Amino acid sequence: MSAEIPELTNFFRRQNFLRRFEKGHLICSQEEQFDYVFMIHSGMVKMYDIDRNGDERTIAIFAGRSIFPLVWLLRDAPKEHLYYYEAYSDAICYVARQEEVRFFTRAHPHVLLGVADALAKAYINLAARVTNLERSHVRERMEFVLYMLATRLGTFEGTVAEISAIVTQEDISRMAGVTRESVSLEMNHAKERELMWKHGHSTFIDIS
C-alpha cells in the first residue's frame, strides 16, 4: 500500500528506527513471526509467494512510502507473515512495532481514512490485474503489467517513466501470468517499438 499521509510518515520517522537492505535481501519470510510494520524510505521491495512446485510468484512491487505487510490493519492480525518480502533494489525502511502502528492509526481517524482510501485504490488496481489475466493475448497482458509498474514505481518525464531498478523478465512473466519465453519475445518487440529500454541500473517505459 502506497499513500502520501504526512502524519503517518512522521509517525514512522519518530520511531527513529531505520534498516538498510541490500538488493536480494529477504526482509520477511513466510510463516515468520509478525512483529513489525515497515514503511519504505527509498528503494523497492518485492512481495511474493512460492507455489506447490517451488516456483516463485511475484505478487507486487512496492516503492517509496509504501507500508507492508498490510495485515496490521486487520482486527485480528495473524501472528505469522503470509508472504515473502525481499529488497528488489537496495532499500531503506522505517520500522515500527505493529501494536504501536495500530494504536496510532486508531487514535487518529483521519489517518485511518487516508489509509482506507489508499487501500481502495490498491483494490481497484488488483481488480484490473485480475481482469488482465483473463486476456488471451500475451502482448496485452505484458503491456498492462508494464503500464502498472510505470505508474506505480516510475518517475515521469513526459510520457516516459524511469524506474530506478532493472525490471526482470521473470517478474514480468510472473505478474502477467505468461511464460518467460513469451515475455522475452514481446520484450524484444517493445524495444523495437521503443516502448521499453534499460540504461545503467534503471528501466524506462514509454506509456504513450
Q: Is the pLDDT of residue 19 over 90?
A: yes
pLDDT tens sequence across 156-190: 999 999 998 888 888 888 888 888 888 888 888 88
Q: What residues contact 23, with CB distance under 8 A and at least 6 apart?
A: 87, 88, 89, 90, 91
Instruction: Tell me the pLDDT band of 23, cut-offs 50, 70 and 90.
Output: very high
Instruction: Tell me the pLDDT band of 133, cut-offs 50, 70 and 90.
Output: low
- CATH class of the region 138-206: mainly alpha
**pTM of the shown model:** 0.78
Domain ranges within the chain, ordered by starting residue: 6-124, 138-206
Residue 155 CB neighbour total at 10 angstroms: 12
Question: Average of pLDDT values for 61-89?
Answer: 88
Candidate CATH numbers 1.10.3720.10, 3.40.50.300, 2.40.50.140, 2.60.120.10; the one for domain 6-124: 2.60.120.10
